[in-house]
Amino acid sequence: MFGIGQTELIVLLVIVLLIFGPKNLPRLAQSIGRSARELKNGLNGITEDLKDSAHEDRKEASAQPAVRSPEGTRVERNEGEKS
């Protein structure tokens, strides 16, 4: 787990307990959990937005007609080009 052994984890928990005290420890754990949940939800929202954006871009690209060049090869039309 993050390169931390069992002994190091126990020492870390004892230090946190000494710093914050037993009364504040549940509140601290609760706020850490809320922060982690908000971070996860925010990242999921960004991921969904990127997926939707990529899907729309692919959809628009497939809707644009292809133009044949004089040599008979297929050429994709850019948005800025006029027909």
In this prediction, residue 52 carries a pLDDT of: 87
Q: Per the domain annotation, does 54 fall within a domain? A: no
Structure tokens of 2?
């993050």
In this prediction, residue 43 carries a pLDDT of: 93
Q: Per the domain annotation, does 43 fall within a domain? A: yes
DSSP secondary structure, the chain, as one string: -TT--HHHHHHHHHHHHHHHHHHHHHHHHHHHHHHHHHHHHHHHHHHHHHHHHHHHHHHHHHHSPEEE-TTS-EEEPPTT---
Q: What is the pLDDT along the chain (83 residues), one digit of tens a residue?
A: 478 889 998 999 899 889 988 899 899 889 999 999 999 999 999 999 888 888 887 877 776 665 555 665 655 556 555 54
In this prediction, residue 33 carries a pLDDT of: 94
Query: Could you list the residue range(s) of the whole structural domain that residue 29 is in?
Result: 22-47
Q: What is the total count of domains within the chain?
A: 1
Q: Per the domain annotation, does 28 fall within a domain? A: yes
